[in-house]
């Protein structure tokens, strides 16, 4: 499993997890999870994430923490990795604010495709 952390700024970071190859995952060949986390003194808070855990669908899904519960969002309808990163970046900018757009672009740009 590949995992790592990419800082966005002093308050937020992206954590990614690319699991080992699995034939159940059709297009990306393995499960992946990418989290936006808020750094706090005593830990980290979950803000949103994208994953392809649902093997019945080929496209990944975005989950947003709203009022303490995960909310499923049908935001991504493509299998192109660059389009997925762009859409996920838009969700992050929506959460963090327009001032963080460049920092988010830099952080998202460091993610490699889970197909590799």
Residue range 104-113: mean pLDDT, rounded: 93
Q: Which two tokens stand for residue 56?
A: 């019945």
pLDDT attached to residue 85 = 92
19-65: pLDDT as tens digits? 998 888 878 889 999 999 999 988 899 999 999 988 888 888 888 88
* Domain with 33 in it: 2-109
Do the domain assignments include residue 91?
A: yes
Q: Answer yes or no: is 114 within a domain.
A: no
What ranges in the chain are assigned the alpha helix state H?
Answer: 81-96, 101-109
Would you state the pLDDT for residue 74?
62
What pLDDT shows up at residue 53? Answer: 86
The reply to whether 7 falls in a domain is yes
Domain-embedded: residue 115:
no
Residue 17 lies in a domain: yes
Tally of domains in the chain: 1
Provide the pLDDT confidence category of residue 100 given band limits of 50, 70 and 90. very high
Q: Confirm whether 31 is domain-assigned.
A: yes
Distance CA 47, CA 69 (A): 10
Q: Which pLDDT value is given to residue 75? A: 64
Q: How far apart are CA 54 and CA 107, in angstroms?
A: 25
Whether residue 67 has pLDDT greater than 60:
no
Q: Is 116 inside a domain boundary?
A: no
User: What integer pLDDT is reported at residue 103 of this predicted model?
Assistant: 95
Residues 93, 24: Cα–Cα separation, whole Å: 32
Assigned domain for 36 exists:
yes
């Amino acid at each position: 499993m590949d995992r790592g952390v990419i800082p966005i700024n002093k308050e937020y970071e992206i954590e990614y997890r690319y699991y080992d190859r699995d034939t159940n995952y059709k297009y990306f060949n393995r499960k992946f999870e990418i989290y936006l986390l808020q750094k706090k003194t005593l830990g980290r808070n979950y803000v949103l994430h994208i994953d392809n855990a649902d093997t019945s669908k080929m496209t990944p899904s975005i989950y947003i923490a709203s009022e303490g519960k995960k909310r499923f969002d049908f935001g991504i309808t493509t299998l192109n990795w660059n389009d997925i990163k762009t859409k996920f970046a838009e969700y992050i900018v929506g959460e963090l604010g327009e001032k963080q757009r460049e920092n988010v672009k830099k952080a998202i740009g460091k993610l490699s495709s889970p197909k590799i």
